[in-house]
Amino acid sequence: MSGNVSVIVIGGGIVGLSTAMRILQSRPAARVLLVEKESHIARHQTGHNSGVLHSGLYYKPGSLKALNCRSGYSQMLEFCREESIPHEVCGKLVVATTDAELPRLDELHRRGVANGLAGLRLLSPEEIREIEPYCRGLGGLFVPQAGIVDYTAVAARYAEKLIEMGAEIVCGERIVDICPKGSRVEVIGESRTWSGDAVVACAGLQSDRLALKTDSSLPLRILPFRGEYYQLKSSAPKLVNHLIYPLPDPAFPFLGVHFTRMIGGGVECGPNAVFAFGREAYQKTDFNLRDTCDALLWPGFRKVAAKHWRSGLGEYHRSFSKRKFVEALQQLIPEIQACHLDDGGAGIRAQASSCQGDLLDDFDFRINRRVIHVCNAPSPAATASLSIGQTIAEKVLPLLC
Residues 6+ apart with CB under 8 A from 338: 322, 323, 326
Do 350 and 222 form a contact (C-beta atoms < 8 A)?
yes
51 binds ligand FAD (CB under 6 A): yes
Q: Which of 351, 352, 362, 359 is nearest to 63 (CA)?
A: 362
Residue 14 within binding range of ligand FAD, rule CB under 6 A: yes
Under the criterion CB under 6 A, does residue 231 sit at the interface with ligand FAD? no
Q: At closest approach, how far in Å is the CB of 124 from ligand FAD? A: 28
Q: What does DSSP assign to residue 203?
A: -
Q: Which is nearer to ligand FAD, 245 or 298 (CB)?
A: 245
Considering only residues 9, 35, 143, 274, which one is a binding residue for ligand FAD as defined by CB under 6 A?
A: 35
The span from the CA of 276 to the CA of 284, in Å, is: 8
Binding ligand FAD (rule: CB under 6 A), the pick from 6, 7, 9, 12 is: 12
> Which CB atom, from 38 or from 362, has the smaller least distance to ligand FAD?
38
Question: Would you count residue 381 as binding ligand FAD (CB under 6 A)?
Answer: yes
Nearer to ligand FAD, 159 or 336 (CB): 159
- Residues that contact ligand FAD, how many (by CB under 6 A): 41
Choosing from 56, 137, 256, 378, the residue that interacts with ligand FAD (CB under 6 A) is 378
CA angle 94, 99, 102 (to 5 degrees): 45
Do 375 and 350 form a contact (C-beta atoms < 8 A)?
no
Sequence-ordered alpha helix ranges (H) in 176-266 = 207-214
Closest separation in Å from C-beta 32 to ligand FAD:
15
**Is residue 152 at the binding interface for ligand FAD, with CB under 6 A as the rule?**
no
Residue 170 vs residues 205, 327, 400: alpha-carbon distances, Å = 19, 45, 21
Binding segment for ligand FAD (CB under 6 A), chosen from 97-105, 290-298, 351-359, 375-383, is 375-383
* d(C-alpha 290, C-alpha 294), whole Å: 6
Give me the least distance between CB of 255 and ligand FAD, in Å please: 9
Q: What angle do CA 264, 281, 56 make, to 5 degrees?
A: 50
**Residue 75 makes contact with ligand FAD by CB under 6 A:** no
Name which position in 5, 7, 9, 10 contacts ligand FAD (CB under 6 A): 10
CB of 42 to ligand FAD, least distance (A): 6
Distances (CA, A) of 134 to 92, 105, 126, 255: 14, 20, 11, 21
Residue 213 near ligand FAD by CB under 6 A: no
Q: Say how many Å lie between the first and final Cα of the chain, rounded.
A: 18
Q: Which residue among 23, 32, 46, 135 contacts ligand FAD (CB under 6 A)?
A: 46
Give the integer Cα–Cα distance in Å for 61 and 389.
20
Q: Which residue is nearest to ligand FAD (CB)?
A: 13
Q: Within 13 Å of residue 48, how many CA atoms lie on the same side as its CB?
A: 23
- 27, 136, 174, 324: residue in contact with ligand FAD (rule CB under 6 A): 174
CB of 271 to ligand FAD, least distance (A): 5
Q: Does 16 bind ligand FAD (CB under 6 A)?
A: yes
Q: In the set 140, 147, 227, 300, which binds ligand FAD (CB under 6 A)?
A: 227
CB of 129 to ligand FAD, least distance (A): 25
Taking CA atoms, 140 is separated from 114, 238, 247, 288, in Å, by 18, 20, 9, 41
Q: Which residues bind ligand FAD (CB under 6 A)?
A: 10-16, 35-38, 43-46, 48-52, 54, 174-175, 202-206, 210, 227, 271, 347-349, 377-383
